[in-house]
Amino acid sequence: MMLTIDPARWASAITLVAAWGGLCAAMLRKPAAAAPTGTADWLVVYASQTGNADYLAQQTAATLSTGGLSARAVCVSNLDAATLAGATRVLFIASTYGEGDSPDTAARFAGVTMAGAPDLSHLHYAVLALGDSSYANYCGFGRALDAWLGAQGATALFERIDVDRGNPDAIAVWQHQLSHLAGTSDLPDWEAPAYGEWRILERTRLNPGSAGAPLYRIALVPRAGALPDWEAGDLVQVCAPADPAQPREYSIASVPSEGRIELLVRLQQHADGSAGAASGWLCLDAGLDATIALRVRAHARFRLGENAARPLLLIGNGTGLAGLRALLKARIDAGVHDNWLVFGERNVRHDFLLRDELDAWREAGALTHLDLAFSRDDDGPRYVQHLLAERGDALRAWIARGAAIYVCGSLQGMASGVHEALAAALGAEALDALAVQGRYRRDVY
């Protein structure tokens, strides 16, 4: 179902779904007391890459609980055929990544569970599919999941809801459905935190003379008041004046103790010579006195979390160094020096980003290995994935010591090449197992 913003259509749609929802509630609602201890009547399963589906799943479970239902949000990585066989009511919130693919957390579910044909005729379900209609395969994973559940005999509680770039109207329809399932008329406020007013403190071009597009290190502080809290791995969202309805995301390159949010932003240049809406605003147009609308977004999957004490292999290219730099800084500040960075760019002369800092960390022993691939310097193109292929023994030894792998940077070219190189060195199953254990994490775009 493709959702638009016509209020009259919404009103009738909501009336219809309300009637259907009431019927579902009557059929399915159970008193909280009947919930078996330690389990939940409702599973809210999220398949998320950068946390939106995760956030909506927590809100969904909370809304059902408000209505007295027993509900639990679980990551799809914890869902297998046996859990599905034992569940009767499951709400799925599924985003789409890559080119119509499942998020990394759903790789096993999509590849193994959905390759099977279990009997799910006992199951009632609904799907909230998150996506972006500018991609060819809009909501591809949510659609595939919905079709698969139906084909296994599961009964849809209501038609799949597709959410285009977080469209609040589509999310409101999901909320209405939930309030009917839960038998409550309360519609809780799911608004994300408001944008704050920030200003640029410093802006430095990091790659003068580069054959690639200009890339800037941009330091920002709130116009007034304290810095918000964040952790290495988190993102910011920036609203550009030219396109305020569609915020752009940037990985945070700094940690809170540095007193500022730093970003590494590549200027997007279109074929007609115009600049990208958000990167043009941040890199060129916004003066030091301009107000930048920005908010921090937790990105739990890319934080150090339970990997804080493990050796870390950080792999990335270009602006991907932003997220990796924040993770490294957090580790080094905490006195953890088992850090191996594999980074790629074009020319060593112009594109060795943050060279002084990385060299200093290496000399101090805080960065035990630093491997660099400069694609335009070597004989023939050479990328981070080629380095990984050459360093197979070291890679296996590092993983055997319990290391976790973090990949940040471009999806096109880098992330898939790195994935293949890691699978070749470690084995595809071992890499899947690392992903399930949270030891293989990606922030790729």
Ligand X SMILES: Cc1cc2nc3c(=O)[nH]c(=O)nc-3n(C[C@H](O)[C@H](O)[C@H](O)COP(=O)(O)OP(=O)(O)OC[C@H]3O[C@@H](n4cnc5c(N)ncnc54)[C@H](O)[C@@H]3O)c2cc1C
Site for ligand FMN contains 77 (CB under 6 A): no
Please report, to the nearest 10 degrees, the dihedral formed by the alpha carbons of residues 435, 436, 438, 440 taken in order: -10
Does 250 sit near ligand X (CB under 6 A)? Answer: yes
C-alpha triplet 290, 295, 300: angle, nearest 5°: 150
User: According to CB under 6 A, which residues from 140 to 159 bind ligand FMN?
Assistant: 140
Q: Is 266 in the site for ligand X (CB under 6 A)?
A: yes
Q: How far apart are CA 328 and CA 160, in angstroms?
A: 41
Cα dist. 23→28, 158, 177 in Å? 9, 11, 11
Contacting ligand FMN (CB under 6 A), which of 24, 43, 53, 90?
53
Question: What proportions of the chain, in percent to the nearest 5, are helix, strand and coil?
Answer: 40, 25, 35
Q: Is 60 in the site for ligand FMN (CB under 6 A)?
A: no
> Least distance in Å: CB of 299 to ligand X?
7
Spatial separation of the C-alpha atoms in residues 83 and 120, rounded to whole Å? 11
Given ligand X, ligand FMN, none, residue 417, with its beta carbon under 5 to 8 Å by kind, binds: none
Nearest to ligand FMN of 131, 233 (CB atom): 131
Report, in Å, the least distance between residue 340 CB and ligand FMN: 25
Among residues 107, 161, 296, 322, which is the contact residue for ligand X, using CB under 6 A? Answer: 322
Which tokens in the block code for residue 70? 């027993």
Q: Which stretch binds ligand FMN (CB under 6 A): 97-105, 221-229, 285-293, 339-347?
A: 97-105
- State the minimum distance, in angstroms, from the CB of residue 21 to ligand X: 30
According to the binding rule CB under 6 A, does residue 64 interact with ligand X? no
Q: Does 321 bind ligand X (CB under 6 A)?
A: no
Does 301 engage in binding with ligand X (CB under 6 A)?
no
Number of residues that bind ligand X (CB under 6 A): 23
Does the footprint of ligand X cover residue 265 (CB under 6 A)?
Answer: yes
Partner from ligand X, ligand FMN, none binding residue 124, C-beta < 5-8 Å depending on class? none
Query: Residue with structure tokens 């809290």?
Result: 229
Determine if 317 is a binding residue for ligand FMN (CB under 6 A).
no
State the DSSP string of 301-363.
GGS-GGGTTS-EEEEEEGGGHHHHHHHHHHHHHTT---EEEEEEES-HHHH-TTHHHHHHHHH
Residue 278 sits in the site that holds ligand X (CB under 6 A):
yes
Query: How do 215-222 and 196-205 pair as beta strands?
Result: antiparallel
C-alpha 121/C-alpha 189 separation (Å) is: 34
Smallest gap, in angstroms, from Cβ of residue 73 to ligand FMN? 13
- Residue 235 touching ligand X (CB under 6 A): yes
Task: Give CA–CA dist 105/36, Å, rounded.
Answer: 28
200 is an interface residue for ligand X by CB under 6 A: no
What residue ranges in 132-211 does DSSP mark as E strands?
155-156, 161-164, 196-205
Binding residue for ligand X (CB under 6 A) from 29, 72, 165, 369?
A: 165
Alpha helices in 39-153 (DSSP H): 52-66, 81-86, 107-111, 140-151
- CA distances in angstroms from 402 to 35, 117, 213, listed in the order given: 39, 35, 37
As measured in angstroms, the least distance from the Cβ of 94 to ligand FMN is 8
| Ramachandran bin of 68, using left for φ above 0, alpha for ψ from -120 to 50, beta for the remaining angles | left
User: Which one, of 350, 357, 133, lies nearest residue 341 by Cα?
Assistant: 357
Q: Which residue has the tokens 């930048």?
A: 292
Q: Would you state the structure tokens that stand for residue 90, as one six-digit string? A: 């499951």
* Residue 161 in the binding site for ligand FMN (CB under 6 A): no
Name the one range near ligand FMN by CB under 6 A: 94-102, 199-207, 231-239, 367-375: 94-102
186 vs 243 by CB, closer to ligand FMN: 243
| H-type alpha helices, 194-305 | 277-280
Q: Which of 60, 70, 95, 210 binds ligand FMN (CB under 6 A)?
A: 95
Closest approach, Cβ 420 to ligand FMN, in A, equals 17
Could you tell me if 157 and 24 are in contact, meaning their C-beta atoms sit under 8 angstroms apart?
A: yes
- Binding segment toward ligand FMN, per CB under 6 A, in 98-106, 205-213, 331-339, 366-374: 98-106
From 50, 167, 207, 210, residue interacting with ligand X (rule: CB under 6 A):
50
How far apart are the C-alpha atoms of 157 and 123, rounded to whole Å? Answer: 10
User: Phi, psi at residue 259, to the nearest 5°?
Assistant: 75, 10
Which member of 63, 70, 77, 96 binds ligand FMN (CB under 6 A)?
96
Taking CB under 6 A as the rule, does residue 135 contact ligand FMN? Answer: yes
By CB under 6 A, is residue 340 in contact with ligand X? Answer: no
Instruction: Pick the piece of the chain touching ligand X (CB under 6 A) from 65-73, 277-285, 398-406, 429-437.
Output: 277-285
The contact set with ligand X (CB under 6 A) reads: 50, 134, 165, 235, 246-251, 264-266, 268, 276-280, 319, 322, 443, 445
The contact set with ligand FMN (CB under 6 A) reads: 48-53, 95-100, 103, 130-132, 135, 137-140, 166, 411, 445
